[in-house]
Amino acid sequence: METFEKLQKQYYKVMADKAGLVVCTCGNMFELVASKADPHQRDDKGKKLSKEASLNMGQCRVRCNVCEKNFCGKCHEYPYHIGYTCEEYRFYKTTMYDRNG
């Protein structure tokens, strides 16, 4: 049964991607509607976001209306990588992993 559930989740993810939908880890599926970048947005430490990070946040940050998880609709990182674009965060994670070994 566990294998079937994994296959079903993978199938939903592929179908959602083709339809332009986002799937949360709880299974909820919804449309990603981009908003405008907020030029005054700040990260968790109070630092002003770069233009690219602010744009990424407006286009990709989602909050599931079922489980209320806050994640990236583009790269699916949870929690959302505030202050970074998807590419910047991927690089950050890679370099941090390399440092911490």
In the chain, what are the domain boundaries?
2-32+43-100
The pLDDT tens digits of the residues spanning 49-84 come to 999 999 999 999 999 999 999 999 999 999 999 999
As a whole number of angstroms, the distance between CA 96 and CA 37 comes to 28
| 61: nearest Cα among 45, 41, 46, 47 | 41
The pLDDT tens digits of the residues spanning 1-53 come to 578 888 887 887 787 777 778 888 888 888 888 888 888 899 889 999 999 99
